[in-house]
Structure 1
Amino acid sequence: MKAKAEAQPARLDGLKWALVVLLVSAAVLGNMYFSDTPLLYRVVGVVVFIALAAGVFLLTTKGQRFLVMAREARTEIRKVIWPTRPETTQTTLIVLAAVALVALLLWLIDSLLSWIIQSLIY
């Protein structure tokens, strides 16, 4: 009995996925077909169709797993200890100094190699 209960959503998932593909296709094809219509109306139509497709997607098994993953990610983001403003400023200045130093070294090496090659050619 449990196997039938698990098999049923998989079959319905196929129909839901077909509906998602149909809605996205309708949004794209409708946007192309009504190219003479003002842009605002076309954008509203595409957004409505994509929102409907997203709603149907969230009803699928993968959509449900996506929602669970999004909730877990939100919980993990809340646990992060973000750096303070002075820490961020200090780190940014260190990175900028390191980039400037490497750029200067690369310029010096390039100039030296250029001078060596020029002296060999002439």
Structure 2
Amino acid sequence: MSAEAPVSRFDGMKWLVVAALVAVAVVGNSYFANESLLYRVLGIVALAAAAGFVALQTAKGASFWSLVKGSRTEIRKVVWPTRQETVQTTMIVVAFVLVVALILWGLDSFLGWLVSLVIG
């Protein structure tokens, strides 16, 4: 994953095409504001897909796609907790938060009482 894809001399032009497609989507959405929202969203999705496809053809896009594939592989290796473990851990966290909240409330009340004694 540390090996980078070779940089093509056309990468700059590809990024310009990506920027142009995004600009066309933004301007087109404003220009066709009176059209149906469905048509505008479909147009934006189509332009975003085209921009994504062009971006993936660059060196940075290829390395990004390699990162995505690698992270999917790593996610498959994760041992996820069972439902029971998740519920138990959540209950421990909730109980700890309640205990700390009570301690802070008590400390705040005590300090408020102490200050009111000093101030009068």
Normalising by structure 1, we get a TM-score of: 0.88
Aligned equivalent of 1:23, options 8, 11, 21: 21
Instruction: Quote the offset at 1:94 in angstroms.
Output: 0.5
Instruction: Quote the offset at 1:39 in angstroms.
Output: 1.5
| Length, aligned pairs only | 115
* One-letter code aligned to 1:110: D
Aligned to 2:99: 101
* One-letter code aligned to 2:117: S
C-alpha distance in 2, partners of 1:50/1:118? 62
Residue 60 of structure 2 is aligned to residue 52 of structure 1: no
Q: Which runs of 4+ in 1 moved over 4 A?
A: none
Instruction: Quote the offset at 1:121 in angstroms.
Output: 2.1
Aligned equivalent of 2:115, options 108, 113, 117: 117
Aligned equivalent of 2:85, options 84, 87, 94: 87
Aligned equivalent of 2:40, options 39, 42, 59: 42
Instruction: Quote the offset at 1:117 in angstroms.
Output: 1.5
* One-letter code aligned to 1:22: A
Instruction: Quote the offset at 1:76 in angstroms.
Output: 0.8
Task: Percent identity, please.
Answer: 51
* One-letter code aligned to 1:16: K
* One-letter code aligned to 1:61: A
Normalising by structure 2, we get a TM-score of: 0.90
* One-letter code aligned to 2:60: K
Q: Which sections of structure 2, spanning at least 5 residues, go unmatched?
A: 1-5
* One-letter code aligned to 2:53: G
Q: Which sections of structure 1, spanning at least 5 residues, go unmatched?
A: 1-5
Instruction: Quote the offset at 1:120 in angstroms.
Output: 2.0
CA RMSD of aligned residues (A): 1.3
Aligned to 1:3: none
